Homo-oligomer: A and B are copies of this chain.
Amino acid sequence: MTQSPWDRSLAVTTDIVIFTIRDRKLELLLVRRAAAPFQGQWALPGGVVGPDEGLKACATRALDEQTGVSGVYLEQLYTFGDPGRDPLRRVISIAYYALVPSDRLELRASAAPQAVGWFALEQLPPLAFDHCEIVALAHHRLVSKLTYSTIAFQFMGEKFTLSELQAVHEIILAQRVDKRNFRKWALALEQIEPTGEERRDGKHRPAQLYRLKFPGRVEIIR
C-alpha cells in the first residue's frame, strides 16, 4: 500500500462542548484561540489526538487541561470532517459533549483567565471554524436526551433537592414544568434516593436532599 497524499496536512482532533448551568442559564465553555487560523476568536476547547491516545482519552485530557474538571459525563457527539472546515489544513474532528455540575466549575488557575470563559448559550460570540454547528448539534442532542434519559442528573452536585433538579429541566427545555408531575416522574425512575439531610436556604421550608444511586450512570427510559 502506498503512502497517502495526507502526510503533511492531516490532523485528527477532538472538540468538546462543555455544558453547565449557572445563574439559571445553560452555559458553555469557550477558549480564545492563540494561533491562526481564527486567532483571537472564541472556539470550543479541544486538542490534537496523540499517536497512542484514544479519542475519549484525548477529549478527557483536553477537558482537564483547559478547565481542571475531571470525572464528569462525557459522550461522543458526532465527527466533523468536511474539507475546508479549517482553511489551513484538513482536520477531522471528533466532537464530544460534557456536562459539568454547577458546584465544580471553578476553572483551573493555570489557564490564562481571560483566555477561557463561560458563555450563555443564547449569547454566544462568533465562533471559529464550524463550531457554531457543533454547538447546535450538541444542544439538540442534550434537549432530546432529556426526554428519554436521566442525562440531566449529571448536572447535579453530590447532593441536590428536587426543586434544583426540576430547575435544570426547566432551563434546558426553556419552559416551566409541573412540580407534582415532575416529582412523580423523577422518583419513579428509582435513580435517586434521599440522603436524610435537608438544605436550608432562604426564608422558607427546608428541602430534602437527594443523591444519585448510581453516579455517572445515565439510564435510557421509556
* Interfacial residues, chain A to chain B (CB-CB below 8 A): 1, 3-12, 35, 48-49, 51-55, 76, 78-79, 81-83, 90, 92, 94, 148
Contact = CB atoms under 8 A, between A and B. Distances in A.
Contacts of A3: 8
A7 B9 CA distance: 9
Closest 7 CB pairs of A and B: A55-B81, A79-B79, A52-B83, A7-B7, A79-B94, A5-B51, A54-B82
Nearest to A80: B55
B81 A78 contact: no
Nearest to A83: B52
A3 B48 CA distance: 12
Nearest to A48: B4
A8 B3 CA distance: 7
A52 B10 CA distance: 11
A9 B79 contact: no
Contact of A92 (B9, B52, B55, B148): B55
A49 B5 CA distance: 11
B7 A8 contact: yes
Contacts of A35: 1
The winner among A12, A35, A81, A148 for most chain B CB atoms within 10 A is: A81
A81 B35 CA distance: 27
A76 B94 CA distance: 12
Contacts of A52: 83
Contact of A10 (B10, B76, B81): B10
25 contacts: A1-B35, A3-B8, A4-B51, A5-B51, A6-B10, A6-B11, A6-B12, A7-B7, A7-B8, A9-B51, A10-B12, A12-B81, A49-B81, A49-B92, A52-B83, A53-B83, A54-B81, A54-B83, A55-B79, A55-B81, A76-B79, A79-B79, A79-B94, A81-B94, A92-B94
Contacts of A5: 51
A117 to B, nearest CB: 24
A10 B48 CA distance: 13
